[in-house]
Structure 1
Amino acid sequence: MSLHVNTLFLFFLNASAQESHFREASRTKRVYARPGSKALKGMIPSHRSFVVTEVLDGTSSCPQGWGRVHEGGVVCLSNTKKTKEAPSDKEMLSFVPPDPLEYDYDFSNPPEISFDMYTEPFLPHVNARISVGKRGRLWESVEAYERGDRPNWRLKEQREYRFVDVIETDRGIVLERPNGKVTPISEWYMYPVSQFFGRDLDVEPIPKGEQAAWIIEKDDAPIFVSATNAEAPVYFAQFQEAFNVYETDKPNWYGIPDLFGTGQDGYIQRKHIRLWKPAEIPVEVDDNVWIDVHLPEQTLALYQGERPLFVTLISSAKPGFVTPTGVFSLYSKATSWDLGSLPNAQEAYFMEHVPWVMHFFPRYALHSAFWHADFGLPSSHGCINMSPRDIAYIFEKTQPILPKGWWVVRHDDDDLGSVIRIRSGSTKLPDKRLKK
């Protein structure tokens, strides 16, 4: 959590010491600009604590009274109660799903599930769909499943579901739904999830005269000892492997400095890599944090004013679909959101509670992707797909900041959200930011 958010958090607690307290809602609560207003500022999920800094008088639409939860934001106090539990960041699921580098996305052949993975948790939940030929049965609880009770429900096929825990029982591993119901993992295909993470330029700065590059050849890319493929390759680089490269005097060849740590450079053809280099800064950003997406290279960079902070790979629209270009802003951010196609869409889909969704234009967002790991290649229906680790990092750094305990936050009149420029060719693009 950033220093900015912690400072706000402490400010709210001290702003009205006599009335500041924690509350919990039994259902999802909407946060409005002021009592009786329809201007939505965000949403707070059920059964999560949040801070109330001041209690305001009730209105005809909310006789129970209003609670001020954020500077300029209020929530109706109906269906809420006081709690001693302080708000916290959303916890990550302790279970780590399989790595897609080891498994194919084959719904008839689920990957092996193991609890012996030592990777740091990085997902708030896991997603799965019913395996081919299975039924997706649900039991009332873990206890009911262990007793051998009959299942009570079945879930629909051909869609992705969210599970908040992976539990070992005497009868085998089960997946737990948000309502506590469970289903045996043997009936499900659990998605392998990419652990790809981009490049923090404070930790790994790019040397002068070089560029950041990633391999985009899924069958491995050959690297040679000279800028020619006349000799046998000395190394095969894996998909999404990262390098620093420099331009050579040979067209379409790039050098890799000190490839093996022996002083010997390697050489790779341009067609096998994605490249990133700084671009002209748009006038809309001042010294604020903003995002630059370059569609031809499938890259995203996070900047602070003119200084690049982080660079990574993305997946934009695949052939037959379009990712809009222009200067936008992040007008809404959610820790998770359902994503689905329109009726009669060319390709129908429904993804339940996709983690870290940031809308910049109606029906277009930056969000995580668990159903593929092809970052660096166009693969989406129009949105900007990112690995879970990457999108979580960008989510935390950009405006509007999500207060602790909230599920959704929207921009307001004083902050239209962080600028995101999506470009294909020219950096001179129309301003398409949505006003409040």
Structure 2
Amino acid sequence: MFLTVRIPPQKLFIAAGLAGGLAVGGAATVRAAAPVAAATPGSEPASRVKTLEVRSARRYQPIYRTPDGRGPLRGTMVPGESFEVVAQVAGPRCSGGVWGELPAGGYTCLGTTELSEETPVFQPRLAAFDQPRPEEYFSYLETGAYDRDRVDVAEPILPFIYGKRWRGWRAPAWDSLAAWNAGRASTHNLEGVPKYHFVEAIDTPRGQVLRRRDGVVVPADRVFIYPVDRFQGRDLEARPVPEGRAAAWVVAYDGVSVRSEPHAGAPIMASLDYHQELTVDAVPVASSEDEALRWWRIPDAVVPGVDGWVPAGTEGIRVLQSLARPEEVGPDEIWVDVDRTEQVLSLRRGNQVLYATLVSTGDGARWATPKGLYRVYDKSVYGDMKSRDDADEPYHVEKVPWVMHFKHRYALHGVFWHWGFGHPASHGCVNLAPRDAHYLFERIGPRIGKGWHTAYATPEDPGTHMRVHDG
């Protein structure tokens, strides 16, 4: 059936200010670390060495490739988060002179850390808060309310709660929770351009408020909370596509009609909803009435043994294409492919597709995601993205989740401000649904360790290859 609620076209969430993107020496060993086991490209290796100690960072703690404070950076730690140390190493330019060797590679000065009893975890931690769903968008605009799950049962998807001042949501702000609870007047309103992040939701006698890291609070019903897409791509190792078939998704906002024969006059058998996953023949066939037109066959479209047909070459569906790996990529190497024509990203090992999903690349010639073969040279669990000062369309997005740079000011990253995956929408970045961004972040290099905020590529860990192309 068609969608019961129409997902707004791209122009709606552009007009609403919801679209966007990023145009964005030697040492004496105190205790030697034994070799560690191999790792998947995105994670720290599984250590065969017993952890020496667990510590926590007091600030954004730098990680260096060598135990020297003037050496090249390997990454950074999240303040307050715990991390494992597998060895202590003496080295220069460190308070106390003792460096900690880390399982994912690199060294951090232990003089600005402290012992911790908390189990280290991969970052980011996810916020237990139920943001609206895209299908609630219009009713939310009309009523200012949506069907929100309680915090204790909400499914964590994003690292923060995201919202903005927009339309009737004027976002009055109080400098502290105490000021709000005391019934004082608001001190200011949030600005209109930024997309804000909030670290927690707090229930109070006066209603729920969202708190920022600096202590400022905003009533939850006075700020526009971004609807977040729960869409996720297809794990083709767990659910492979039969030989001769291809993974596909519906991207028409109103859904697509499935016809009984490959021509526009054939009876409609069923309708498929926006972002519905399907499997089609790998090669489209000519229309039974016009050989210039192509149609995709959907095996067992309605019931087993009854096929259906949808037109090719339209904005109706996107199809994962079978393409050989670049010669620079090894036969067993993990790499990423981005097809601008189909708006499909796939994670591959050599020529085998492991995972595929819809994305949004740059919108139009001005913002086109640049074609080429790259390497992902850094990863951050989140980061601010801001337009240039002289930009015609200014934007400022706080704490964009799962950022993976492949070219200066271009990245793969999660998106909470639109749900148009399968359509170009960004200022040049490759936009992913939150679940897809999280999935990809954990599986591509450079490696990142527990408690880390950022990882930078190194000669030994150069980052995952990524190809951007048309068709």
TM-score (norm 2): 0.82
Deviations 1:215-246 (A, max 9, x none): 12112222211112224423222222121112
Does residue 411 in structure 1 map to residue 457 in structure 2? yes
Q: CA deviation at 1:113?
A: 5.2
Shift of 1:178: 2.6
Pairing 1:341-352 to 2, within 5 Å after superposition = 341-352=387-398
Residue of structure 2 aligned with 1:92, choices 120, 126, 134: 126
In structure 2, the residue matched to 1:253 is 295
Structure 1 residues 3 and 362: CA distance shift in structure 2, 3 A: closer
Q: Partner amino acid for 2:342?
A: E
Q: Does 1:156 align with 2:198?
A: no
Matched, 1:273 2:317: yes
Which consecutive unaligned segments of at least 5 residues does structure 1 have?
15-19, 426-436
Q: Does the CA-based 8 Å contact 2:99-2:107 persist in structure 1? A: yes
* 1:11 Cα deviation from its structure 2 partner: 3.6
Residues 374, 61 of structure 1: alpha-carbon distance in 2 compared, 3 angstrom cutoff: same
Q: 1:305 aligns with which of 327, 342, 350?
A: 350
Instruction: Tell whether 2:420 aligns with 1:385.
Output: no
CA contact (8 A) 1:131 1:187 kept: no
Could you tell me which of 80, 88, 97 is aligned with 1:47? Answer: 80
Shift of 1:69: 2.7
Alignment of 1:223-242 (within 5 A): 223-242=258-277
Amino acid at match of 1:263: G
Q: Which has the higher contact order (CA 8 A, sep 6+)?
A: 2
Q: Name the stretch that deviates more: 117-126 or 374-383.
A: 117-126
Aligned AA (1:279): L
Structure 2 gap segments, 5+ residues each: 1-37, 288-292
Aligned to 2:58: 26
Match of 2:360 among 315, 322, 329: 315
The separation in 2 between residues aligned to 1:337 and 1:6, in whole angstroms, is 19
Given that 2:379 and 2:402 are in contact with CA atoms closer than 8 Å, whether structure 1 keeps it comes out as yes
Measured after TM superposition, the shift of residue 125 of structure 1 is 1.4
Q: Tell me, in whole angstroms, the C-alpha distance in 1 between the residues paired with 2:39 and 2:50.
A: 16
Matches within 5 A, 1:131-170: 131-133=166-168, 134-141=170-177, 144-151=179-186, 154-170=189-205
The Cα of 1:26 is off from its aligned counterpart by: 2.0
**For residues 356 and 186 of structure 2, what CA distance do their matches in structure 1 show?**
47
Q: Which moved more, 1:169-178 or 1:384-393?
A: 169-178
Q: Is the 8 A contact 1:329 1:420 kept in 2?
A: yes
* 8 A contact 1:146–1:171 mirrored in 2: yes
Is the 1:291–1:301 Cα contact (8 Å) retained in structure 2? yes
Report the equivalent of 2:110: 77
Structure 1 residue 259: deviation in Å?
Answer: 1.4
SS of 1:95 mapped into structure 2: coil
**1:127 partnered with 2:162:** yes
TM-score by length of 1: 0.88
- Deviation digits for residues 406-432 of structure 1 (CA, Å, limit 9, x no counterpart): 00011111121111111125xxxxxxx
Worse overlay, 270-279 or 88-97: 88-97
Using the alignment, how far apart are the partners of 2:302 and 2:274 within structure 1? 18
With over 3 angstroms needed to count, the CA separation of the structure-2 counterparts of 1:256 and 1:359, relative to structure 1, is same
Tell me the CA shift for residue 86 of structure 1. 2.3
State the Cα distance separating 1:136 from its structure 2 match: 3.4
Taking every aligned residue pair, what percent have the same amino acid on both sides?
32
Which of 436, 440, 443 pairs up with 1:394?
Answer: 440
Change (3 A) 1:375 1:60: closer
Deviations 1:231-266 (A, max 9, x none): 442322222212111233423211111112242211
CA contact (8 A) 1:111 1:189 kept: no
